A and B are shown apart, each in its own frame.
Chain A
């Protein structure tokens, strides 16, 4: 299973992900219709991307009165079955992350579906703040990072350096 990994420290704030997402989904470039969002903090020029984390126990699905939102155990995604939606926005309120939202007209509910396994946002993220990787690879790369740190400490200790 693949996951969308966000690394805010790498984000350059170019917002190409937002343009690419809206174009993929609506054929029009409009960041307000993007499923992924980049927040800019002007005071210190920091950029934080946010997107649906496809929760294991999704609040949005729980409050949906028409079972429009369903956790898909095969793909790991929270599916949005558009034709069943009545637009009551309970999911929008329930999501504590703001990752399920209304489109720019305030009419339609939109959320990330990872473009059925080929996310448009990742393709334009040159800074690699967004990556789409196998969950195993993500974990093993984390483990690798930790192991590297241990290795460095161990070698310094051998040299008699107090880390």
Chain B
């Protein structure tokens, strides 16, 4: 019996037959995997062959909320997109903020399972429990901001939207799924899977409320959680003031800010692209996702130069780095424009920036013939950046088509895959493992390829004094702990940023009060570990092995040239073995029967 937190119903949409079916949420799975990322992955495990071609109709996409979505639990409006990813054949799972998650829940559905493939472009209009397949031929090819507006005008102005851009339609390997026109489920190419199904988007509007199991306990848990965040200097100071971009100066000052495709890791011009500069130069106001007291979102406008008058959301820290330091660019307006373009085309900004940086290095080293490039691809050239993003989004020529496949396929094409700063073909984000050791372990072991938000060890290694960023000891334990915590958190509907202040026990408290499923800190982490192992099992079945748990050779062998981390390289081997043993996995990274048994998922191996 589910008392609260969940709506209790999953919507199954078959795009091939244009049929829909309502199914009951399974209580046993809800208890075992919470919702969101965990429950969604369980569905994929049950229904999708791990060997399937990710872009084939047999692949499925789960759009999932968690039990905290649509409540006043702080920062609780996340929505998850779970599928088998085309970029690297892993269990792809990407999440976004905004308002779609809570509104999806108010239609009465906790999740949507998308299967099959529509014969013509369609979008879904889910209005108060009624589902319509709507023609999207006129929307196909439209930019995200355009189709977002059009879909809302055609349905309801106060509805919430999910959509893909031209990148997703053309099945770019780094296409994202956008929400509300400017919130991105960015990573792992989930947008390509949605595009492969001829689905332009989903519009939701509902009138059903979300109940919780224990009203007073939940109210108290929310009060306490909000108090914790209000007391936290990052969550209630740096984040609202400068957004995630507050990290630019912080990370650069540790010399762990990959620069010019990680040929260095210190960017002398960092302050020109910092959160402080962004605030002074482009910020219009703060924007918050549903029920978020942090409000890290930036509403920005370009106020001078050739992109004057353009406006939108962001850039966040990662794009500032990816288009900035990584491409050697210090022109904040060009970086902001590149970010807007990624949102409009529906491209993952981290991967897009990493790909342009890779292209620039290939070009400068002469591996990419000048004839292949429509313009000179020099590090530091803002026009080359913006035009490359445009080419990637539009895929009108061979250059654009190639870049749209991400840096790994690009570098491989020119015979130098080592120049792709990626793990499992996914571009790594804005922290250099050579200068922050633990994050390298996270990149190498993340179940979706290089990623910072599966186990954000930066919080422990840089942001709060605790662990020395340059030592290896203790990093495996921290990484495992954070990965498990995040897996459970991502399944609850809460945002990772709540963990600036909140701990596992606070999240467990919110989860228990909302659902009535008693869960303490240990149990919450155990659920996270269960989800992590399940994801790993999917990847193993998909064909990945322990050999894929590594880092780009540059990170392992080329010392940082300048700055505070000068001379550092990453020695992954010093952490990986310990990590596997903490996980209860063999040296080949395969989970042991015993550990799976402890976690209650031996049936999934």
Contacts and interface: CB of A to CB of B under 8 A. Distances in A.
* A/B: CB atoms within 8 Å of each other: yes
Contacts, number: 95
B217 interface: no
A112 interface: no
Interface stretch (A15-23, A51-59, A79-87): A15-23
Given A16-B291, A42-B152, A23 B72 contact: yes
A30 B289 CA distance: 16
Contacts of B223: 123
A104 interface: yes
A19 B285 contact: no
A23 B219 contact: yes
Contact of B288 (A22, A23, A127): A127
Contacts of B324: none
B341 to A, nearest CB: 18
A97 B102 CA distance: 26
Interface in A1-53: 9, 12-16, 19-20, 22-23, 26-33, 40, 42-47
Interface stretch (B208-216, B407-415, B440-448): B208-216
A40 B183 CA distance: 15
A126 interface: yes
Contacts of A9: 285
A22 B215 CA distance: 12
Contacts of A16: 72, 290-293
B292 A14 contact: yes
Contacts of A123: 223
A12 B215 contact: no
A28 B313 CA distance: 31
A124 interface: yes
Interface string A103-127: 0100000000000000000011011
A14 B208 contact: no
From A20, A29, A42, A43, residue with most partner B Cβ within 10 Å? A29
Interface in B75-99: 99
Given A12-B285, A19-B70, A44 B311 contact: yes
Contacts of A33: 209
B200 interface: no
A22 B290 CA distance: 15
Interface of A: 9, 12-16, 19-20, 22-23, 26-33, 40, 42-47, 104, 123-124, 126-127
Given A14-B293, A16-B293, A28-B211, 11 more contacts: A14-B289, A16-B290, A23-B71, A23-B219, A27-B211, A29-B211, A32-B209, A45-B182, A126-B226, A126-B229, A126-B230
User: Lowest 10 CB-CB distances: which A-B pairs, in order?
Assistant: A30-B209, A28-B209, A14-B288, A126-B293, A12-B288, A12-B295, A16-B291, A29-B210, A45-B299, A104-B207
